[in-house]
Amino acid sequence: MGRNVLYRDLAEYYDRLYQFKDYRSEAREILRLARRFLGRPPRSLLDVGCGTGRHLLEFARTLSVAGVDRSAEMLRVARRRLGPRVPLARGDMRHFSLRARFDVVTCLFSAIAYMETRRDRDTAIANFYRHLNPGGGALVEGWVRPSRWRGTGGDLITYEDRDLRVARVTSSWREGNHSVVEYHVLIGEPGKRIHHFAQLDRNPLVEVEEMLGSFRRAGFRAKALLHGRYRDRGMYVGVRPSDS
Binding site for ligand SAM (CB under 6 A): 4, 7, 49-51, 54-55, 69-71, 74, 92-93, 108-111, 114
Indicate the residue among 27 and 239 with the shorter CB distance to ligand SAM: 27
CA 150 to chain centre: 20
Indicate the residue among 73 and 188 with the shorter CB distance to ligand SAM: 73
Residue 179: beta bridge partners? 174, 203
| Interatomic CA distance for residues 59 and 63, integer angstroms | 6
Q: Give least dist CB 69 to ligand SAM, A.
A: 5
Q: Give least dist CB 232 to ligand SAM, A.
A: 14
Enumerate residues 6+ apart whose C-beta is below 8 A from 233.
110, 141, 142, 143, 144, 145, 148
Give all strands (DSSP E) within 176-234, no chain letters: 178-188, 195-204, 221-225
Using a 10 angstrom Cβ sphere, with 0-12 exposed, 13-18 middle and 19 or more buried, the burial of residue 134 is exposed
Nearest-CB residue to ligand SAM?
51
| Interatomic CA distance for residues 74 and 183, integer angstroms | 18
| Interatomic CA distance for residues 219 and 67, integer angstroms | 23
Indicate the residue among 49 and 137 with the shorter CB distance to ligand SAM: 49
Q: Give least dist CB 163 to ligand SAM, A.
A: 23
Q: Give least dist CB 62 to ligand SAM, A.
A: 19
Indicate the residue among 93 and 224 with the shorter CB distance to ligand SAM: 93
Q: Give least dist CB 91 to ligand SAM, A.
A: 7
Indicate the residue among 22 and 160 with the shorter CB distance to ligand SAM: 22
